[in-house]
């Protein structure tokens, strides 16, 4: 199959990237990151997550972040929403689009969102209905599409069933996530073949982690299958807190370099993206160093008192 002429990138850094940081960044730093990402030419930036702060404290300030962004015309600022409460909060904060997330593995679903796959899908139905009434688009995520940290290999048919359910429910696009980064081009192609029998390939995206250095190879395999939407994270930030051993997301810079070499259009400036990646890494390094220093000072003061 011919490679797509153009690919749309969905930037995960501000959400999936930063949610795994031990020490949350300040709102002003998150806003600055999102604005700089928009300046590279990106048209879709996942900017926050409206899950319980008890589960993901790094995203507790997502409403403030979304409200403070100096928005660029034509850019979608989306947010992750697990239920109606999250949806309502995201819309109130100004999210242009929302995303719901399910898993292809029963055990991972229970460990990640504390319910079965079917229960998670049932939770999403009122969200999709409310979004339809408010004319807000909903993106669907399916995690563990190749392997699960608890169950091992995930059958492609299981992925196809969940993806089809989300699509039939009203999700305009389904992002297929290799949460552990265990996929190889052959397993990815097998999974995509199964899913594309139930969901049009035009409605599919891929989301790879780079645990074993296979993300770029897997993206090329997905391109060969006709997929033209890729999730990525600036500087490769992130990883799933509920998937032991999962490395960061594939770096947006690496994806851009691949696509540029293949002559595939993205409308995103690689040099500008590399500068954003360098800047956020330096900021995180300074931030984490200062947090560790404060913790050590507090410990020393406590031991003397």
pLDDT tens-digit profile of 7-16?
999 999 999 9
Let me know if residue 150 belongs to a domain: yes
> Are residues 278 and 286 in contact, defined by beta-carbon separation less than 8 angstroms?
no
Mean pLDDT of the 195-201 span: 98
pLDDT for 107 beyond 80: yes
> Are residues 181 and 188 in contact, defined by beta-carbon separation less than 8 angstroms?
no
Let me know if residue 243 belongs to a domain: yes
Q: Give the contacts of 127 (CB within 8 A, at least 6 positions apart).
A: 81, 83, 84, 87, 98, 100, 138
pLDDT band at 296 (very low <50, low <70, confident <90, very high): very low
Mean pLDDT of the 69-97 span: 97
pLDDT band at 20 (very low <50, low <70, confident <90, very high): confident
Which tokens belong to 140?
A: 């669907």
What range does the domain containing 159 cover?
8-304
pLDDT for 297 beyond 60: no
pLDDT at 185: 98
pLDDT at 139: 98
Tell me the pLDDT of the chain averaged across its residues.
92
How many residues are recorded in the chain? 305
pLDDT at 291: 61
Residues taking part in catalysis? 240
Let me know if residue 68 belongs to a domain: yes
pLDDT for 294 beyond 50: no
Let me know if residue 3 belongs to a domain: no
Mean pLDDT of the 239-243 span: 52
Let me know if residue 244 belongs to a domain: yes
Let me know if residue 217 belongs to a domain: yes
- DSSP character for 265? B
Name the more confident of 111 and 105. Answer: 105
pLDDT at 23: 85
pLDDT 10s digits, 140-170: 999 999 999 999 999 999 999 999 999 999 9
Q: Closest Cα partner for 58 from 91, 87, 27, 86?
A: 27
pLDDT band at 293 (very low <50, low <70, confident <90, very high): very low
> Are residues 176 and 206 in contact, defined by beta-carbon separation less than 8 angstroms?
yes
Other C-beta atoms lying within 10 Å of the C-beta of residue 172: 11
Let me know if residue 42 belongs to a domain: yes
CATH number of the domain where residue 190 is located = 3.20.20.70
- DSSP character for 203? G
Mean pLDDT of the 236-249 span: 65
Instruction: Provide the number of structural domains found in the chain.
Output: 1
Let me know if residue 1 belongs to a domain: no
């Amino acid at each position: 199959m011919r490679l797509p002429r153009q690919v749309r990138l969905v930037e995960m850094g501000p959400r999936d990237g930063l949610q795994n940081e031990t020490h949350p960044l300040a709102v002003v730093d998150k806003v600055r990151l999102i604005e700089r990402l928009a300046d590279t030419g990106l048209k879709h930036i996942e900017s926050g997550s409206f899950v319980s702060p008890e589960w993901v404290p790094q995203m507790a300030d997502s409403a403030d972040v979304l409200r403070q962004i100096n928005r660029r015309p034509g850019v979608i600022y989306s947010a992750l929403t697990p239920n109606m409460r999250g949806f309502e909060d995201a819309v109130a904060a100004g999210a242009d689009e929302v995303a719901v997330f399910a898993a292809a593995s029963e055990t991972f679903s229970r460990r990640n969102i504390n319910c079965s796959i079917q229960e998670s899908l049932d939770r999403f139905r009122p969200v999709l209905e409310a979004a339809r009434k408010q004319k807000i688009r909903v993106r669907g995520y399916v995690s563990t599409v190749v392997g699960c940290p608890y169950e091992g290999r995930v059958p492609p048919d299981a992925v196809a069933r969940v993806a089809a359910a989300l699509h039939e429910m009203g999700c305009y696009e389904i992002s297929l996530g290799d949460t552990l980064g265990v996929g190889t081009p052959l397993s990815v192609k097998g999974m995509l073949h199964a899913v594309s029998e139930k969901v049009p390939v035009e409605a599919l995206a891929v989301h790879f982690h780079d645990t074993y250095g296979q993300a770029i190879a897997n993206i090329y395999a997905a391109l060969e299958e006709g997929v033209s939407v890729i999730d990525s994270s600036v500087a490769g930030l992130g990883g799933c807190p509920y998937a032991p051993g999962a490395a960061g997301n594939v770096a947006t810079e690496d994806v851009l370099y691949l696509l540029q070499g293949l002559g595939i259009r993205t409308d995103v400036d690689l040099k500008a993206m590399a500068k954003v990646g360098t800047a956020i890494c330096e900021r995180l390094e300074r931030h984490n160093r200062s947090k560790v220093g404060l913790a050590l000072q507090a410990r020393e003061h406590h031991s003397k008192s």
